[in-house]
Copies of this chain bind each other. A is one copy, B any other.
Amino acid sequence: MPAQIPATALQLQSLVRADQVVELFLATVEVPEPGPDEVIIRVGAAPINPSDLGLLLAGADLDAAVFAGSADRPVVTAPLPEAAMRAMQGRVGVPMPVGNEGAGTVVAAGSAAAASALLGKTVAAAGGGMYSEYRCVPASLCLELPDGTSEFDGASSFVNPLTALGMVETMRLERHVALVHTAAASNLGQMLNRLCIAEQVPLVNIVRRQEQDELLRSAGASYVCNSTSAAFMDELTDALTATSATLAFDATGGGRLASQILTCMEAAATAAAGSYSRYGSAVHKQVYIYGSLDRGPTELTRNFGMAWGVGGWLLTPFLQRIGPDGIERLRRRVAAELTTTFASSYTDQVSLAGALQPGAVAGYARQATGSKYLIVPSG
């Protein structure tokens, strides 16, 4: 092991305790010797994605969080509601490293060609546990970044880019011709907007605020509907009629938004069909829920005929569906367009210890569209 690599490093961990409390803290973990197919990454930047929050926060009640420990070794504890605790039974007593993805420099590598080729390179990695100063991961989980790409630019190379690509690919696999996206002003939403423009896929963006409407339109969006507008249902139906979109990806999950989208899709399909059908239109209308910004129940009014589906959508099963060749194709594209189509932006940058300060926890737990945290472990 070269001298500049420490024997131990800090890692952010989340522990669900048997006393129904989640505890967030910085653990000191060993930096191992990499195996033949592994590399050691000095992590430069790792985003806090909504998909990290389930593992990190475990559904805790953060209004009752207690912040303790020292400035460089903070400890956050928060109680878990009964329902969250039931769902977490499988991880009680097991400290979990957190952070789906990040980017950094390969400072040590195993003997296998695929690993040793990465030594000294800037890579992105979907390795899990990326909220760490150093992280040992299989070389196969790394994406070598083009020369000159910074760790900052590469931090979000997987989750959002592959999700945006996955939405467009799913649309094609399931024979739809256009997309609807909610929480559309998010980092992912802006990325999807750029991707759909590049791919000439009509995209109906659903937002909640006027400035989000303006942000997307200034980025070239043709269809933006504000769900808080009194004319929302009519405006959405018009956009669906114009685009023939019959597939939506919904980040909110709870409430009636998925149902409203299906209702408007059915109105658009019925208008296009021109005649009455007792079971509604024959056009299949699909909403995939991929997030849970609203944790309340999904309410479906079912006034949209019988040709509809609502389901969960997750990146990993999608990647399994397209297989290794499909994944490789998407990874190459992400690497090539990391600072254009797939660029991310962050509103807040924190150290590992900074990620456990009250303001930061409240900030990322709120999941407000437009707010995005980047952890800089070696910062």
Contact = CB atoms under 8 A, between A and B. Distances in A.
A48 to B, nearest CB: 15
A299 interface: yes
B302 A298 contact: yes
Contact of A312 (B89, B298, B306, B317): B306
B298 A300 contact: yes
Interface in A273-324: 275-279, 282, 289-290, 292, 297-303, 305-314, 316-317
A309 B310 contact: yes
A278 B54 contact: yes
A270 interface: yes
A308 B312 CA distance: 5
B298 A305 contact: no
Contacts of A113: none
For A289, A312, A317, which residue has the most chain B Cβ atoms within 10 angstroms? A312
A20 interface: no
A289 B302 contact: yes
B297 A307 contact: no
A276 B94 contact: yes
Contact of A254 (B275, B276, B290, B302): B302
Contact of A90 (B254, B270, B309, B313): B270
Given A307-B312, A311-B310, A90 B302 contact: no
Nearest to A52: B278
B312 A277 contact: no
A55 interface: yes
A331 interface: no
Contacts of A71: none
Contact of A307 (B83, B306, B317): B317
A102 interface: no
Contacts of A299: 297-300
Interface in A143-185: none
Nearest to A320: B282
The interface centre, meaning the residue of A275, A277, A289, A309 with most chain B CB atoms within 10 A of its CB, is: A309
Contact of A300 (B83, B297, B306, B308): B297
Across the A-B interface, the 10 shortest Cβ-Cβ residue pairs? A90-B276, A309-B311, A306-B312, A298-B300, A306-B314, A91-B276, A297-B299, A55-B278, A297-B301, A308-B312
Given A259-B297, A289-B302, A309-B312, 17 more contacts: A54-B279, A83-B303, A87-B303, A90-B276, A90-B277, A253-B302, A279-B316, A290-B306, A297-B302, A299-B299, A299-B300, A302-B312, A306-B312, A307-B317, A309-B309, A309-B310, A309-B311
5 contacts: A87-B303, A298-B302, A306-B312, A306-B313, A311-B311
Interface of A: 54-55, 83, 87-91, 94, 253-254, 259, 270, 275-279, 282, 289-290, 292, 297-303, 305-314, 316-317
